[in-house]
Amino acid sequence: MVLAVAALAIAIFLFGGGLYNLVSRPLPSYYSPSIGFLFVNPYLSDQFLWDSLIATTLFALGVIGSLLMYQSTKYASNPRQAYMMLMVGVVLLLIAYISIEAILRQSKGL
Report the distance separating Cα 12 and Cα 75, nearest Å.
27
With beta carbons less than 8 A apart as the criterion, state whether 18 and 9 touch.
no
The answer to whether residue 108 scores a pLDDT higher than 80 is: no
Mean pLDDT of the region 26-55: 88
Report the distance separating Cα 34 and Cα 107, nearest Å.
16
pLDDT band at 45; cut points 50, 70, 90: confident
Neighbours of 4 (CB within 10 A): 8
Break the chain down into helix, strand, coil percent, rounded to 5: 65, 5, 30
pLDDT band at 110; cut points 50, 70, 90: low
Which has the minimum average pLDDT: 19-23, 66-70, 103-107?
103-107
The answer to whether residue 94 scores a pLDDT higher than 90 is: yes
